[in-house]
Structure 1
Amino acid sequence: MSELDSGIADCLRSWNHFSGSRLQIQAADLGWNLKAQKLVNYEARKLAGIPVLVATASAEGLAAGLSAHSLWLSLWGELQKTGEFIDELYQLARASQKKRLVFGADEFHFLPGIPTNIPKGRELIRHLREHQWTLGEVFDLVGRAGSQAALRYIDEGEELAKDRGWTVAALPVASAEVAEPPTWAAPPTLSGEFELDELDRFLHQEFPGRWHREFNFWRGRHDTACARWLGLWIKRKLAGFVRIAHRGDPEVQSDRRSRWIPGALRLPLAAGNLTGEGGAPPDDRAFNDGCLGPIGVAKALRGCGAGRVLLAGALSRLNNLGVDHVCIDWTDNESFYKHLGFERVRTYRTAFLSTLKSTL
């Protein structure tokens, strides 16, 4: 077992011990995802005896635009000595010559940040706030694609799309020569690799940074053959996108472990076990679990219903694929999804300090 594998195992034992059945994370999913990408280097360490994962930008990540001055961290253990932990954290930053410290919010969101229910967690948060750290809170949400609320939302979105002449259609998978049938309305003329290039241009213009980098990572690993990318088309022009995937997708079944990239770390537990009940073991994942995201529309179209149509189209496609539970991960917009029946299953506190010098 490598040092990273051993460190991951230590982190997960600690995390899963105190986090309860709704927050379980599997070693195979976390380990594979950490190693699959090349933009960030991960290292397992202990600070004040507490397991942490530390991430820094790789050479490839630096070339893609990641900061050379950032140190991403994830706290996985039961904090006992807050002062000692902070002292060792700052010592690590000095030794690494990093000026920006971040809990959670790493490039691929594989580091959960600060768990909300750890002993002395509030003490740590209070200390960080007193020392000018910027704090945030994000959630993993789970809902059902076929719930009554979701089905009403889908119907309303379809009516809005028809009324405005908008189209929600899937980009072709990498192995296909033509697009899948549209979710709604007639698709624009689509063929082969062109749509991926158009999505690349759209993300570069509308969402430069992390989403654009992650798309190119996924594209390079042929993720377009195992996840579904839907586009919102207005007047034959790409105006929004969303990515969906699920474990039961036939495109994934030929090699589920090596090709399952999207959302593997944060997929919900099996049906009936979301509240720790139903008899399923804590690490059991339902075959038809799925994930949705990222999702975004062009800046000029926000607030006019484009996002509503796109989300409704994604839920419709997931429902048609037979997906049961759907995870929307790392969102701070809980209120928006709540009326669709999505519930919070994990909460993370993020924190960052942009200038370490003022604290040392």
Structure 2
Amino acid sequence: MSALAKTRISTLDLAPIRDDGGPEQALRNSLALAQHVERLGFSRFWVAEHHNMDGIASSATAVLLGYLAAGTARIRLGAGGVMLPNHAPLVIAEQFGTLATLYPGRIDLGLGRAPGADHFTAQALRRERSGSAEDFPADLEELQGYLGPRTSGQRVIAMPGSGTRVPIWLLGSSLFSAQLAGEKGLPYAFASHFAPRLMHEAIRVYRNAFRPSAVLDKPYVMLGVPLLLADSDEQAQYLATTAYQRVLALLRGQSLVQRPPVASMDGLWLPHEREAVAGLLGLAMIGGPQTVARRLELLLEQTGADELIFTCDQYEFADRLHAFDLLAELQRSA
């Protein structure tokens, strides 16, 4: 049995907004995608917190997860992730405690240490709170306390939340969360879908630091992977230009709405921009089924990842659904 056949596969959705669409369609597409990959047998479906970005509709992460949970039956749903510096731990405990109470055994809570927003947006989110990333270990411990069993003398409880033990994951694109996740004995997800440079080192740090805990007896690594899979290499390269344009817009500080694919990126980017985009999408699985299958097997051989969570930034929703159909078939036939 191949590595891919034995590896869990999941989906990370950013609820992308097209240049000719709006947030309502993006959110409805998110539910349709969750239902689709549930039928395909994927392990989980996560959405990510982003703010002040006109091309991403998943800002109210817990609210969106409630919508997705109501429209699905089995697949695990979660935040990939909540940016904890933006929130009081009690609020997150109550939100995800409510979700876990309504949909028991189906809710994950992935936590990020970065604010994930510019200074002005961070100020608008936090108001009077300091909200520093340096507070992350203490905020994590506080959050774990709210979600764990109530203790004698505990003056503040999360209700719902207390005793739900919502599974917590640490997310990261650097080494800090890898070290902390290992020390805490928590599962770790690396953001290699947009920051692959430190992937191997982060995995090594996490596994070396790992201490068994009440929730995990051995390290568990999930990797974010951009999926740009189509029927042929040529078609995939064409569809990938939507992702290239979006990353280019991010680098330039421009609108992040999805743009249709183009025949060529020549004239749209400068040489140094092309290199920067390639660096951020270095782990992207671009190609037809045979090409992507080879690359996925190599990635799993090099990393020993336990799970892969795929983003799919394709313009036409039908192409996104088809990409996940092809991925599921690759796993079945591996």
Of Structure 1 and Structure 2, which has the larger fraction of its residues in helix? 2
Of structures 1 and 2, the one with the larger relative CO (CA 8 A, separation 6+) is: 1
* TM-score, with length taken from structure 1: 0.30
* TM-score, with length taken from structure 2: 0.32
Of Structure 1 and Structure 2, which has the larger fraction of its residues in strand? 1
* Structure of larger gyration radius: 1
